[in-house]
């Protein structure tokens, strides 16, 4: 588990600080993130961002898209951006995914966008437990990640395309994610539809988790 987390951090550092740093910044920009998530209004509706007072984004790549979402929703919250890597200058905090440095019930909304495929199941389950802990009553969290397809060959190709240099990448479907999120303290776990996604043209799985008000 520690090895895979360290590898994910190392890959993230190389991506942000290597010769492709300019490309990394461009892909992390609000415009690029908006292209990756074309149904921003649906995300705002699911998370009830228009009324959220506190908002955490634990996606890799800084908080540019979270800022865009909050502004579009007219949310009073300024998103708190969290990353695994210290190389990003666009985040507020760096932390292990299963050790989030926040008090219980701190956030009304949380997004985890394309951030868990390089993590093992134990780390994803630990992150889910932390999300349940920090979500306020009535709060919601949205997890989006690349999903597997029926073709083993296509899955191998997709893993290479989205690996970012990680040797081990998990493409988890709804069943696996639901199992990892179960018994973490959420009052509801729902599969939601946010597609179609054009960039890159790989299926996603989108899961909404909620705490009862």
Q: Where are the domains of the chain?
A: 2-210
Q: Are 142 and 46 in contact (CB under 8 A)?
A: yes
Token look-up 């303290």 returns 185
**In the predicted model, is pLDDT for residue 166 greater than 80?**
no
Confidence class for position 163, pLDDT limits 50, 70, 90: confident
Q: Using 50, 70 and 90 to split pLDDT, how confident is the model at 29?
A: low
What is the reported pLDDT for 97?
Answer: 84
Cβ neighbors of 62 (< 8 A, separation 6 or more) are 28, 81, 83, 88, 89, 90, 91
Give mean pLDDT, residues 26-38: 63
> Which pair of structure tokens corresponds to residue 16?
């942000």
Q: What is the mean pLDDT of the chain?
A: 85
Statement: residue 130 has pLDDT above 90: yes
Q: How far apart are CA 37 and CA 3, in angstroms?
A: 30
For the CA atoms of 122, 197, 95, 190, what is the dihedral angle to 10 degrees?
-50
Q: Residue 153 above 90 pLDDT? A: yes
pTM of the predicted protein model:
0.84
Architecture (CATH level 2) of domain 2-210 = 3-Layer(aba) Sandwich (3.40)
pLDDT of 6 higher than 80: no
The C-alpha atoms of residue 171 and residue 162 are separated, in whole angstroms, by: 10
Kindly tell me if the per-residue pLDDT of 190 is higher than 70.
Answer: yes
Torsion over CA: 102, 107, 112, 116 (sign)? positive
Task: With residue 107 as reference, give the H or E element that holds it.
Answer: strand 107-113
Question: Binning pLDDT at 50, 70 and 90, where does residue 20 land?
Answer: low
Least confident of 31-35, 98-102, 163-167, 169-173: 31-35
Handedness of CA 100, 105, 111, 117 (dihedral sign): positive
């Amino acid at each position: 588990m520690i090895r895979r987390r360290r590898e994910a951090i190392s890959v993230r550092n190389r991506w942000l600080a290597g010769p492709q740093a300019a490309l990394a910044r461009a892909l992390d920009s609000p415009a690029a993130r908006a292209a990756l998530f074309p149904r921003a209004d649906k995300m705002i509706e699911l998370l009830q961002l228009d009324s959220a007072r506190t908002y955490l984004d634990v996606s890799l790549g800084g908080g540019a898209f979270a800022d865009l979402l909050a502004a579009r929703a007219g949310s009073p919250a300024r998103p708190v951006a969290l990353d695994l890597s210290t190389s990003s200058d666009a985040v507020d905090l760096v932390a292990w995914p299963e050790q989030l440095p926040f008090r219980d019930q701190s956030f009304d909304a949380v997004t985890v966008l394309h951030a868990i495929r390089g993590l093992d199941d134990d780390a994803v389950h630990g992150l889910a437990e932390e999300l349940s802990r920090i979500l306020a009553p009535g709060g919601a969290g949205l997890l989006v990640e690349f999903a597997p397809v029926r073709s083993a060959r296509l899955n191998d190709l997709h893993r290479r395309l989205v690996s970012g240099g990680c040797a081990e990448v998990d493409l988890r479907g709804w069943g696996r994610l639901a199992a990892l999120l179960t018994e973490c303290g959420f009052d509801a776990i729902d599969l939601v539809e946010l597609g179609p996604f054009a960039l890159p043209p790989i299926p996603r799985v989108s899961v909404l988790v909620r705490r009862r008000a």
